[in-house]
Structure 1
Amino acid sequence: MNHIEEKIIQTIDEHREEIIALAKDIQSHPEPGFYEERTAAHVAAFLRGLGLRVHGGLARTGVRAEWMEQDGPNVTIIGELDAIGCKSHPMADPVNGTAHACGHHAQIAAMIGAALALTNEEVQASLSGSVSFFAVPAEEYIDADKRAWLRKEGIGFPASGKSELIRLGEFDHSDIILTTHVHMMQVEEDFYLGNAACNGFSAERVTVRGKAAHAAIDPWDGVNALSITSSAIQMMGLMRETFREEDHVRLHNVIRKAGDVINVVPDEAVIETKVRAASLDAIRATQEKMDRAYDGAAYAFGGTIEREPLQGYMPILHRGADKVMEESVKLLDASYRCSKPADFNNACTDVGDLTHLFPVLNFTFGGFAGKLHGADFKIMDEELAYIKPAKLLALTTYRLLCDQAKEAKKICREFKPVFNKETYCQYIRDNFHENE
């Protein structure tokens, strides 16, 4: 461990109680995606106090703080602002129904801790490049009705915060992205280094049109929209044997509406659907099967189908543990294991969109008990959940940008993006009819 690495660890240790207090404050005031006003203001004030140039109101609530004076690659460290809808959680907000049952408050704490270390004058002087600290909104799923309101408020890609920030050009100066999260897979070690491949998804709001009739006197004159919906969902269940294991397909349906009164044949049903799969092609193919199920059921009963495609998240592209991260974690008193190509996470995150445009260096960490998104989620080890992730973010950033940023430049040179900003935005417009 050299002097700068010692300085990074020492600085974070000196601010340990401050970092934990900030994490607990955010945990106590959960807010939903794109409406994290209090959390964003708190983060902005903290970063401004470190002498950073702070930009707020990005995609409504995003906060980016940075220094840009130094030549060289930019490393962007991300923390997520939003909480998850979980009314049964003991720390859920009684009004908005959200709780930090996914550990995003721990991400923010880790990002803040890294900022404390990396803004130290001696540490900053050792870096050949720039660092951004980016608190981003809305990682959790945004439903169709909320998306409609967000569009009216000027959000062009309301599926997620990162997607909208890509559209707005807020990542244009980024070269490497650093992300972190509490463990999303079964991991016994303190840290899991690298990005496991992860499902992406697309969604759709389906409106089934039938025909109303008296449910007792002349139901034969009606077309039952709920029966069409039930038949389509049953067909999807029968299709499951056609899904390849390697595509990791998951289907979800929520019936938002199915008629108005019980003694009238339902003439309208509204369903929100979600298709998860491991690749963009598998998502598209599975969505087509679901669409055929709705079309076939509607044909059989004499109804019609209307669809509104809803943008989802792209799958995470696997990335093994980078040397700079593995070398950094060895400086901490912690166990770890590295991502393997065979590892897979069936959940989804909008970090997947970023992996199609940037090299994303990721790690996950422990320190909690219970289930993600569950009422029993609870931080159990503040050192592992808040402090050590801050150290790993800061140490990894230092190793990327020290020695004339040799490692960062190598990563950027070797990375082959799937999209640039323009082709990414065009893909979203072409497939989900999103309008700016």
Structure 2
Amino acid sequence: MSNMMKAMLGSIDDLLPELEAIYKDLHQHPELSMQEVRTAGIVADYVQKLGFDVTRQVGVTGVVAVLYNGEGPTVMLRADMDALPMTEATGLPYASTERAKDEDGADVGVAHSCGHDMHVTWLMGVARLMAEHRDVWRGTLMAVFQPGEEVARGARSMIDDGMTERFPKPDVILGQHVMVGEAGTVGYRKGTILSAGDSLKVKLFGRGSHGSQPQTSIDPVIMAASTTLRLQTIVSREISPRDTAVLTIGALQAGTKENIIPDDATLKLNMRTFDDDVREYMLGAIRRICCAECTASNAPREPEFTTLSSYPLTINDDATSERLRVAFEAHFGERAYETQPAAASEDFSVFGREWNVPYAFWFVGGTDPIEFRRALAAKKLNEIPSNHSPKFAPVLDPTLRTGLETMICAAGAWLDRPDEAA
């Protein structure tokens, strides 16, 4: 066990009640992507009191906090802050009842249904523990609280705001995510751990008419329905079974009344891939099929394509992952395991790609252990509410503690002060 972990283990017990209160407050007051003003203010004030050099409003609402503690490596730890435009259905006493206007001006519920409130709480706790135990580590800690992960704009907005020029270049960038999994466990891996994700909006154009006179129309509803079905053949008939890919049509929007054939229809789709060549092929196939279906329907014009979001692959550095494996297994024993890649996507890797430094990302289980084991035995893991479900709710004990320990353990793999210098 590292000197850092030995020194901080006892302090975690004392800190947990404070962090639980912070978590519940953040959970009750979620904020949409790029609107995280309250959350950013809370974290900036908190870490500033600990002695960090704090820069606010990096990339709109991002916060960068730097703690210098002598000669040594620079380690960046990252947490995302934004919530989702959905209504919470957990039934928790601290459930969110917030509502807000989304980017289109629609009134929506807001909920931390992806666990970013847990991520923020973890990093705040680690910042405090590192600040209060400077005698057991050396180097520079950079705590980054990122906006807009859910819309794939937050990391890029911070980079575009001069992040790589304004702050110390990290030797390594580390991040973690609460996921469905037995609370108290940590899942790591070398190489690809998260898929690339691309979301598109496709507008199909027809010619509107009365429902009783379909011969005078070019029906975009039929066009959209045919396109939806045909798009599913990309994965089932054009992608090798040896490759993994997902294509989902999440929205099909057309018309206002049952006896009116509308002028246009809109598809919103999302795809996940684990290979850049597969990704490029699928993007081309989507365009080909949409255009072909419009031609087949005699559409008056080609479809209009809009990119809603684009996430790169998250590919953990091998040497960094091996260092983490050793640290995690030394501390957690059998509770640390090699996980499989997830078909979820993150913009976390943007920081490592832009700084050109190694990075690694891992998962922390957040499911009640009894519930998880029962579901595993019954082969019903898919019935556990997952991230982005309105019922997603990490169990606080031991998830809060585990996330603190994983981040300290990971940072300590670079910053720990050797025994002879302690």
Match in the other structure for 1:75: 75
CA distance in 1, matches of 2:41, 2:22: 12
Shift of 1:121: 5.3
Shift of 1:324: 4.1
Q: Percent identity?
A: 20
Match in the other structure for 1:206: 202
Shift of 1:219: 2.1
Contact 2:155 2:348 in 1 (8 A): yes
CA distance in 2, matches of 1:270, 1:368: 37
| Letter matched to residue 380 of structure 1 | V
Match in the other structure for 2:389: 374
Let me know the Cα RMSD of the aligned residues. Answer: 2.6
- Bigger CA drift: 31-40 or 112-121? 112-121
Shift of 1:327: 4.3
Flag the 1:281–1:121 CA change in 2: closer, same or farther, 3 A.
Answer: same
Match in the other structure for 2:233: 238
Contact 2:96 2:111 in 1 (8 A): yes
Shift of 1:70: 4.0
CA distance in 2, matches of 1:61, 1:278: 30
Match in the other structure for 1:407: none
| 1:227 equivalent in alignment to 2:225 | no
CA deviation digits over 1:169-192, x for unaligned, max 9? 3245333111011135x5687111
CA distance in 1, matches of 2:270, 2:233: 17
Shift of 1:299: 0.5
Equivalent position to 2:188, from 189, 193, 212: 193
Shift of 1:64: 1.1
CA distance in 1, matches of 2:5, 2:264: 63
Q: What are the residue-to-residue correspondences of 1:407-422 with 2, within 5 Å? A: none
| 1:300 equivalent in alignment to 2:299 | no
Match in the other structure for 2:131: 119
2:63 partner SS: strand
Q: What are the residue-to-residue correspondences of 1:129-278 with 2, within 5 Å? A: 129-140=139-150, 142=151, 159-172=152-165, 173-183=169-179, 190-194=185-189, 197-216=193-212, 218-239=213-234, 240-255=236-251, 257-278=253-274
CA distance in 1, matches of 2:295, 2:324: 56
CA distance in 1, matches of 2:161, 2:243: 32
CA distance in 2, matches of 1:2, 1:256: 53
2:35 partner SS: coil
Flag the 1:381–1:203 CA change in 2: closer, same or farther, 3 A.
Answer: closer
Match in the other structure for 1:429: none
Contact 2:252 2:267 in 1 (8 A): yes
CA distance in 2, matches of 1:277, 1:32: 26
Match in the other structure for 1:84: 84
CA distance in 1, matches of 2:271, 2:64: 32
Shift of 1:395: 3.1
CA distance in 2, matches of 1:254, 1:190: 32
CA deviation digits over 1:262-291, x for unaligned, max 9? 333221112222221112221121111111
Match in the other structure for 2:114: 102
Contact 2:199 2:309 in 1 (8 A): yes
Match in the other structure for 2:324: 325
Flag the 1:59–1:292 CA change in 2: closer, same or farther, 3 A.
Answer: same
Shift of 1:137: 1.0
Q: What are the residue-to-residue correspondences of 1:384-423 with 2, within 5 Å? A: 384-402=398-416
CA distance in 2, matches of 1:308, 1:122: 49
Q: How many residues align?
A: 380
Match in the other structure for 1:314: 312
CA deviation digits over 1:304-356, x for unaligned, max 9? 2122233410111144573543444356466423436xx22112222243454
CA deviation digits over 1:125-177, x for unaligned, max 9? x31x211111111222x3xxxxxxxxxxxxxxxx3211222233324533311
1:317 partner SS: strand
- Bigger CA drift: 159-168 or 24-33? 159-168
Contact 1:368 1:381 in 2 (8 A): no
Normalised to the residue count of structure 1, the TM-score between the two structures is 0.79
Equivalent position to 2:341, from 332, 341, 344: 344
| Letter matched to residue 228 of structure 1 | M
* Structure number with higher strand proportion: 2
CA distance in 2, matches of 1:30, 1:115: 21
- Bigger CA drift: 249-258 or 348-357? 348-357
- Bigger CA drift: 322-331 or 20-29? 322-331
Q: What are the residue-to-residue correspondences of 1:49-60 with 2, within 5 Å? A: 49-60=49-60
Contact 2:200 2:268 in 1 (8 A): yes
Which structure carries more relative contact order (alpha carbon 8 Å, separation 6+)? 2
Contact 2:182 2:367 in 1 (8 A): no
Any stretches of 5+ residues in structure 1 without a counterpart? 143-158, 405-436
1:391 partner SS: helix
1:60 partner SS: coil
1:378 partner SS: coil
2:227 partner SS: helix
CA distance in 2, matches of 1:401, 1:285: 43
